[in-house]
Structure 1
Amino acid sequence: SERGRIAGRIDRETSRIDALIAKKTRFIELLKEKRSGLITHAVTKGLDPNVKMKDSGVEWIGEVPEHWERRKITHVFEGVGSGTTPPTGQHEWYSDRGIPWITTGELRETVITGTVKYLTTKALEEFSTLRVYPVGSLVIAMYGATIGRLGILGVPATTNQACCVLSGEISLSIRFAYFWLLAFKQHIIDLYAAGGGQPNINQEIIANLRIPAPILVDQAGIATFLDRETSSIDTLIAKVQRSIDLLKERRSTFITAGVTGRIDLRGGS
């Protein structure tokens, strides 16, 4: 019947589109795996393939270049801190403009240039646990669903109590620490997180982490390499995702047009 032919044609076309979407989705997964492998390799092995290696003493890190030293977070940053949440019902603490105030939901592995909420200078004076952290500080989510998320400050900002902030580089580059935590945050959460349904880590756990790393100039080289490589992978992922979105649009347009008779699906293949 004509209806059967139309249904068959719609089925064939949607199956073809679905197969393309599946192929592209798999490609994105492979790109993400490549990105993650690249980061882990660079922050544990460095960029010189001929360097001599030694055991890091940490099972999930494996071998590292023999000249790298394990650096404790508290010794390599000037500050390891957090923040607080002023009572939300009171307008004197919050304003439309003012000092950016970060919550963990705003950490998305990117540079933070703005926030949903801002605090007044009065709030800073009133709550001693609030501190304005400088540009370039690294923010880590410690609690619940967002645990392990990261962000780097693009503007001076304060945070709530669910964020841990590393600021003031001494002998560990913020960018290197960022990529290292990106590579190993799941291991850290699995090892240390407490709590039933929603795992938590705390400032003390982060402060006591020991990160094997080369000298600052080499850390900067690794971070620059990773910035470049991950950026080109991210661009490719975005491009493939866009083509998936277009295919999904085409699929639904085709079905609607076929069913409503706006395109002639009779006969043909």
Structure 2
Amino acid sequence: MSLKKYPIYVSSDSWQGDVPSHWRKTSLKYLGEYQNGYAFKPTDWGEIGRPIIRIAQLTSDAAPNLFAGKLDEKLKVEDGDLLFSWSATIDTYIWSSGPSWLNQHIFKVTPSADANKKFLFYLIKHVAPKLADVDAHGSTMRHIKKEDLGERVYVPDIEEQEAIAKFLDAETSKIDALVAEQRRLIELLAEKRQAVISHAVTKGLDPHVRMKPSGIEWLGDVPEHWEVKKIKHSVLSIEQGWSPQCENDPVDSEKQWGVLKVGCVNYGKFNADENKALPTDLEAKPELSIVQGDLLISRANTIELVGSAAVAERDYPNLMLCDKLYRLRLNLNVLLPQFLCHFLTSELAREPIELGASGASPSMKNIAQSVITDLYFAAPDIAEQRRILDSLGSTLSELDHLALQVDQSIALLQERRTALISAAVTGKIDVREFASEETV
């Protein structure tokens, strides 16, 4: 699609650079009324009432809290309302999940008489991050104050705003559809990856191998020559770590001590960046340092992630085990850490791990050591374990490479989307002709 420029541009003496000569100077604060939300407290939440729109309801599928009391009508949000999250997540949204209450840190934006709502949606989406980067207030969380909305912008008349909004709706919808296809492909690759791992560590590589009943209902049949036993019979030691009070910032070098966060083992890969720096007034515990081959398992997390496992591929002498992780050291003559790690992340093992989790909170489940150590598994001798891991390594590397390519494709599409919005709302492209063709 080739889009032309406007015939005449003039200098805007602002961040917008040159703008179409007929666009007028204004600011975001004159293009709408910005109603901030109510500062709900946890004690206001209940089991009945209208949902409360917090940032999580704008950025995820998180279930909302409810409020049954009465508030000013200005704080009510209906489908089609324009919302602008001005703290932490700086972005715009068109609400579509039914009547709700507006929480603080979010503006409900009512466009002025000379502003098109959808154009304003795209304009704020483009301009607001610039305000957050340049004029954000507060040191720990990016946010924007109402006075920051005095930023000068140049806009066309409302008819042209509508034309730009229609163009962007059409084009961003096409891009969003392509992104959705790519994300579905990533899901399929993840499912393929999981299936490959599960089959390899429970059935082996030989499709013609003779099978036998494992004697464990959820484990099913296993290769005839594999040994079925509990994990504890291959464990030399199991321990938990230490979780002192730390700030959330990670270490800035290997000379600084840090404590691992529970998320370091999510999705089967050890992520050393998931750590918190140890305060300088606390003495480190070198005996908790991570050593190559340590099998780390989360003992506390959400139901989907509790029991997640990963193996440290090298020594991390400055990173210490936290108390929300178990560290297993195995008898390497009978069981390799990566083989057991793959088994623990397999579809078969997830069921008994999740059934063994306890805790009333859905956001934090716990598993006792016995949930892991009493878990049955089947494994061949060390030589066959190595062959399985070598084969898995090659296959998983190919799948990961494909997933990386898809991720890069998504990033390019999202860059294209952002650039298109930027060009349209700042007048760098003239889409009036496109809008006229769409109308016809």
CA spacing shift, 1:254–1:191, aligned 2, 3 Å: same
What corresponds to 2:185 in structure 1? 27
Written as runs of structure 1 = structure 2, the 5 A alignment for 1:254-269 is: 254-268=420-434
Q: Which runs of 5+ in 1 are unaligned?
A: 90-94
3-state SS of 1:206 partner: helix
- Deviations for 1:62-109, whole angstroms, at most 9, x for unmatched residues? 2211111113222213222222335669xxxxx983665433132233
| Higher mean C-alpha deviation, range 153-162 or range 114-123 | 114-123
- Deviations for 1:169-195, whole angstroms, at most 9, x for unmatched residues? 241111100110111453133221111
- Deviations for 1:144-163, whole angstroms, at most 9, x for unmatched residues? 33522222222155412211
What corresponds to 2:219 in structure 1? 61
Taking only aligned residues, the RMSD between alpha carbons, in angstroms, comes to: 2.9
Question: 1:176 is matched with which residue: 314, 329, 339?
Answer: 339
- Cα separation, 2, equivalents of 1:213 and 1:13: 53
3-state SS of 1:239 partner: helix
CA spacing shift, 1:260–1:165, aligned 2, 3 Å: same
TM-score by length of 1: 0.84
Superposition deviation, residue 113 in structure 1: 5.0
Q: Is the 8 A contact 1:70 1:212 kept in 2?
A: yes
3-state SS of 1:116 partner: strand
What corresponds to 1:161 in structure 2? 323
Written as runs of structure 1 = structure 2, the 5 A alignment for 1:248-259 is: 248-259=414-425
- Deviations for 1:20-64, whole angstroms, at most 9, x for unmatched residues? 111111111111111111111111110001101112223332221
Question: 2:367 is matched with which residue: 184, 188, 201?
Answer: 201
Q: Is the 8 A contact 1:24 1:244 kept in 2?
A: yes
Paired residue type of 2:355: L
Paired residue type of 1:105: G
Q: Is the 8 A contact 2:227 2:380 kept in 1?
A: yes
3-state SS of 1:267 partner: helix
What corresponds to 1:220 in structure 2? 386
Question: 1:140 is matched with which residue: 297, 320, 324?
Answer: 297
3-state SS of 2:216 partner: coil
Paired residue type of 1:220: R
Superposition deviation, residue 261 in structure 1: 2.2
What corresponds to 1:104 in structure 2? 262
CA spacing shift, 1:220–1:113, aligned 2, 3 Å: same
- Cα separation, 2, equivalents of 1:240 and 1:247: 11
Tell me, yes or no, if structure 1 residue 46 matches structure 2 residue 204.
yes
TM-score by length of 2: 0.53
CA spacing shift, 1:246–1:117, aligned 2, 3 Å: same
The structure with higher relative contact order (CA 8 Å, sep 6+) is 1
Flag the structure with higher helix content.
1
Paired residue type of 2:345: L
CA spacing shift, 1:158–1:9, aligned 2, 3 Å: closer
Q: Is the 8 A contact 2:424 2:431 kept in 1?
A: yes
- Cα separation, 2, equivalents of 1:189 and 1:28: 26
What corresponds to 1:230 in structure 2? 396
Q: Is the 8 A contact 2:264 2:270 kept in 1?
A: no
CA spacing shift, 1:135–1:100, aligned 2, 3 Å: farther
- Cα separation, 2, equivalents of 1:227 and 1:142: 26
Question: 1:187 is matched with which residue: 330, 351, 376?
Answer: 351
CA spacing shift, 1:50–1:258, aligned 2, 3 Å: same
Tell me, yes or no, if structure 1 residue 124 matches structure 2 residue 285.
yes
- Cα separation, 2, equivalents of 1:112 and 1:8: 43
What corresponds to 2:34 in structure 1? none
Q: Is the 8 A contact 2:240 2:323 kept in 1?
A: yes
Q: Which runs of 5+ in 2 are unaligned?
A: 1-158, 248-252
CA spacing shift, 1:44–1:96, aligned 2, 3 Å: closer
CA spacing shift, 1:267–1:36, aligned 2, 3 Å: same
Tell me, yes or no, if structure 1 residue 11 matches structure 2 residue 169.
yes
What corresponds to 1:92 in structure 2? none
What corresponds to 2:22 in structure 1? none
Paired residues in the alignment total: 260
Tell me, yes or no, if structure 1 residue 149 matches structure 2 residue 308.
yes
- Cα separation, 2, equivalents of 1:42 and 1:190: 22
Paired residue type of 1:124: K
Paired residue type of 2:192: K
Indicate the structure (1 or 2) with the bigger Cα radius of gyration: 2
- Cα separation, 1, equivalents of 2:193 and 2:254: 38
- Cα separation, 2, equivalents of 1:132 and 1:50: 44
